[in-house]
Amino acid sequence: MITVITFSILFAGVLIIDQILYRLNKHILELRMNDIMLRIDEAHDILKDAGLANVQAYRDSARKELISKFIGYKFGKTGFIYIINEKGQALTGGNTSIIPYDNLKKISTEKSGFTEFKSLTNGKSKFSFFDTSKFQWKIFLIMDKKELYEQRNLYILAVSLIGILVLISGLGVSYLLAARFSRQTIEILNCVKNVAKNDLSSKINIQPITDEYGELQLGINSMIDELREREIEREKALEEFGKHQKFESLGILAGGIAHDFNNLLTAIRGNVQLAQMYKHDSEELKHCLSDTEHATVRAMDLTRQLLTFAKGGTPVKTTASIPELLQSTVTFILRGSKSKCEFAFAEKLRPVDIDTTQISQVIDNLVINANQSMPNGGIINIRAENAYINETSTLPLEKGEYIKITITDHGTGILKQNIPKIFDPFFTTKHSGTGLGLATSYAILKRHGGHISVESEVGIGSTFYVYLPASINAVKVKALLDSMSYAGGGRILVMDDQESIRALLGKMLALMNYEAEFANDGQKAVDIFAEAKKSGKPFDAVIMDLTVPGAMGGKEAVKVLREIDPDVIAFVTSGYSNDPVMAQYKEYGFKGRLDKPFKIQDLKNLLKSFLNNKTNES
Ligand SMILES: Nc1ncnc2c1ncn2[C@@H]1O[C@H](COP(=O)(O)OP(=O)(O)OP(=O)(O)O)[C@@H](O)[C@H]1O
Ligand SMILES: [Mg+2]
C-alpha cells in the first residue's frame, strides 16, 4: 500500500516537473528570439532614421550585415538561426527542405509561435520558434528537441533517483519499524499467553521504553507482579484453609468413630455386667453373651469398613461389562422402593477391569443415596458412556480411555456448603446414616484409578459422575458363568436383617437363575413362606440368618417352618461359626449351613446338592 502511494506521488511529481521545465525552456527560447528581433528592429530603425530605408542598395547591405551576424549564431549545441526572405530563399544555414510542408504553411500564416516537426533530411525531431520580422523575413530558431529536453530529462532523472532513494529508505524504515513492532507484539503476546496459563514467572523486556509499547510493557509487568503477589496470598490462604479442613475432617472422623464405638462398647460393657449378675447356664446369660458377641462383630465390621476406606481392600480385578453390573446391582436395591431406574447405555461401551464386589458397593451407595433423597420416590437416571480424558481435563485422572457412569436423582439436592464434605468419612445429614457410603466409594474408585465427582442443586437434585479406566480385555463374564456349569432354577426365600447380605444373596441367586424373595426377620419369613405355600407357589429352599437382634432369628423360624412344611429345605447362615446351632445345624432342623463370608461357589454347591437331591427323590 505504502509502495503504491509513493509511486503515485512520484509519478505525479514527474509530470508536474516535466510541465514546469517545458514551459521554462519555452520561455528561455522566447527571450532569445526577442533578443534577435530587437537587433533586427534596431537595424531597421537606423536605416529609417538615416532616410535610407527605401534605398535598395543600403537595404541589401544592411541585410547582408545582419545575415553575417546571424551566421554561426549558435544556441547550445544544436540551436541555430534560420532566415527565409520574402521570396522564400534561405538566407542563413540549411534550407527550407528540412521543414515539412504543414509546418511551413503554419509559419507563413501565423505571426509567431511554436511548432514541432520531424526533419525531412535526417528524420530527427526538431523544435522551432518563428517570427516575422519587419524585413518581411521569416526567422526561425531551430533546435533539436532532444537537446531542448535534455535538461528536463536530467531533472527528471535526478528527481526519479531521489524519489527511488526516498522510496527505498522509506521502505527500509517501515520494514525496520514493522519488524520492531511485530517483535514487540509477539513478545507481549507470548507473555500474556504465559500469564493466561498461570505462569507468572515471565516478564516482558522491551528496550528502550519510549513509545506506547513501552507503556504497555510497564502496565503488563506491574500486572504480573500484582498477580504474583495475589497468588502467594491465595496459596497461603489455601494452605490455612487446607489445615482447617483437615482438622475439621479429622474431627468428623474421630467423632464418627467415637460415636459408633461408644454405642458398641456400651452394649458390650452393659451385657458383660449383666452376665456377671445372671446365673451360670441361665438363658439370660446366653443372651447377654450372644449380644456381646454380636456387638463385637459389629465393631469388627466397622473396623473393616474403616480399613476399606483407609487403605485395605486391594481390588481383585476381573474384566466386566458395566451395563450388566449396573442392572443387576440397581434392580435389586430398588426392589420394593418407590423409585425407578432408567438406564441409557452408549453403544460399543468398553469393558472395565474392576473388583466387581467393590464397584457394586459404590453403585449401591450412590443409588441408595439417590433413593433416600427422594422420600416419595422418583426416577433415577443411570447412564454409561465411553469418555476420553486428555491433558486439558481438570479431573485428577491420567490421560486415557474411561467409562463414565452418570447417576442423576431429582431429590433434595445437597447444600452448597456441604458439597466439599460429603466424601469425608462420617459426614452425614441423615438420622441413622454412618457417613461412610461416599467416603468408601471415593476410596474404592481411587484404588481403581478412577474418580467420583458431584454436581448438585438444592430442590433440583444431584448428579454423581463415576470414572473407571476402560479395559483393553474382553469381558469374560460368560466364561465365569459357564465354569459354574449350574443352571439352577427355582424359588428361594432369603431372611437376613442386613440389607447388604440380602442384596448379595439376591444377586448371586439371580445369576444362577433362582427367583428370590426377601424377609428381614424370622416372623416375616414365616409369613411369606406360608403365603407362598398357600398360593401354590412354594419355595424350593429357605436361607436364614441365625440371629436377628430384637426379632425372630433363623433358629426359631425354622421350627415354625417345619410345622408348616416338615420337608422344608432350610439353610442357616451366620458369621458365628462357633455357635452351637451352626455346629449342630441338623439338630435344629436345618439341612445345611452357609458360613459368612461365603463365595458364590459355596452357595452354588449347597443349593446344587440339596435341590438336585430333592428333584431326584421326587
Ligand atoms: N443423592 C444425594 N442427594 C442428596 N444428598 C446426598 C446424596 N448423596 C449424598 N448426599 C449427602 O451426603 C452425605 C454423605 O453420604 P454418605 O453416603 O457418605 O453417607 P450417608 O448416606 O449419610 O450414610 P450411609 O451411607 O451410611 O447410609 C449424606 O448424608 C447426604 O447429606
Ligand atoms: Mg449413603
Where do the domains of the chain lie? 2-152, 203-312, 318-478, 486-617
State in Å: Cα 496 to ligand 2 middle.
20
Q: At which residue does the C-alpha cell 507563413 appear?
A: 108
Question: Which tens digit of pLDDT belongs to each residue from 200-251?
Answer: 777 777 666 667 777 787 888 888 888 888 888 887 877 776 666 666 666 7
Average pLDDT across the chain, whole number: 80
**Residue to substitute in 373, 436, 438 for testing ligand 1 pocket (most ligand atoms within 8 angstroms of CB):** 438
CA angle centred on 357, ends 328 and 385, rounded to 5°: 60
Nearest protein Cα to ligand 1, atom 11? 422
Question: Which amino acid would we find at residue 393?
Answer: S
State in Å: Cα 87 to ligand 2 middle.
135
Contact (Cβ atoms closer than 8 angstroms) between residue 376 and residue 412 = no
Which ligand does the CA of 422 lie closest to? Answer: 1
CATH of 486-617, one of 3.60.15.10, 3.40.50.2300, 3.30.413.10, 3.60.20.10: 3.40.50.2300
318-478 and 486-617, same CATH topology: no
State in Å: Cα 441 to ligand 2 middle.
10
C-alpha cell at 220: 503488563
CATH topology for 318-478?
Heat Shock Protein 90 (3.30.565)
The helix (run of H) or strand (run of E) holding residue 464 is strand 461-469
- Report CA-CA distances (Å) from 176 to 182, 394, 409, 424: 10, 44, 65, 63
Q: What is the pLDDT of residue 267?
A: 82
Q: What are phi and psi of 512, to 5 degrees?
A: -100, 20
Which ligand does the CA of 423 lie closest to? Answer: 1
Nearest protein Cα to ligand 1, atom 4? 413
Q: In this structure, are strands 451-457 and 461-469 parallel, antiparallel, or unpaired?
A: antiparallel
C-alpha cell at 503: 442384596
Contact (Cβ atoms closer than 8 angstroms) between residue 547 and residue 498 = no
pLDDT along the chain (618 residues), means of 10: 66 69 64 69 73 69 69 69 68 62 70 72 70 63 74 73 85 81 79 80 71 78 86 79 66 71 81 83 83 79 64 71 86 80 92 87 92 95 95 89 97 96 89 84 91 96 97 61 60 90 85 89 96 92 91 94 94 81 90 84 84 45
Strands (E), 133-287: 138-144
| Beta pairing partners, 389 | 400
Q: What is the pLDDT of residue 146?
A: 75
- Atom index in ligand 1 nearest the CA of residue 434 equals 26
Residues 6+ apart with CB under 8 A from 191: 202, 203, 204, 220, 224
CATH of 2-152, one of 3.30.450.20, 3.30.310.80, 1.10.10.10, 3.50.50.60: 3.30.450.20
Residues 6+ apart with CB under 8 A from 4: none
**DSSP states along 517-566:** EEESSHHHHHHHHHHHHHTT---SEEEEES--TTS--HHHHHHHHHHH-T
CA angle centred on 508, ends 503 and 514, rounded to 5°: 105
Contact (Cβ atoms closer than 8 angstroms) between residue 216 and residue 188 = yes
- Burial class, 383, CB count within 10 angstroms (exposed 0-12 / middle 13-18 / buried 19+): middle
Which ligand does the CA of 414 lie closest to? Answer: 1
Cβ count within 10 A of residue 239: 10
Residues with CB under 6 A from ligand 1: 365, 369-370, 373, 409, 411-412, 414, 422, 427-430, 433-439, 462
Q: Give the whole-angstrom CA distance, residue 219 versus residue 215.
A: 6
Contact (Cβ atoms closer than 8 angstroms) between residue 127 and residue 32 = no
Alpha helix stretches (DSSP H) within 87-136: 101-109
Nearest protein Cα to ligand 1, atom 24? 433
Q: Give the whole-angstrom CA distance, residue 354 versus residue 445.
A: 10
Q: What is the pLDDT of residue 618?
A: 30
Sheet containing strand 451-457, strands side by side = 340-345, 379-389, 400-408, 461-469, 451-457
Which ligand does the CA of 441 lie closest to? Answer: 1
Residues 6+ apart with CB under 8 A from 276: none
Q: Give the whole-angstrom CA distance, residue 141 versus residue 83.
A: 9
- Burial class, 34, CB count within 10 angstroms (exposed 0-12 / middle 13-18 / buried 19+): exposed
SS (H, E, C) 271-282: HHHHHHHCCCCC
Q: At which residue does the C-alpha cell 517545458 appear?
A: 22
State in Å: Cα 413 to ligand 2 middle.
14
Question: Which amino acid would we find at residue 492?
Answer: I
Q: How far apart are the first and last CA of the chain?
A: 105
- What Rg, from alpha-carbon coordinates, does the chain have? 58
- Atom index in ligand 1 nearest the CA of residue 435 equals 19
Q: What is the pLDDT of residue 209?
A: 63
Question: Which tens digit of pLDDT belongs to each residue from 566-600?
Answer: 999 999 998 776 678 888 899 999 999 998 778 78
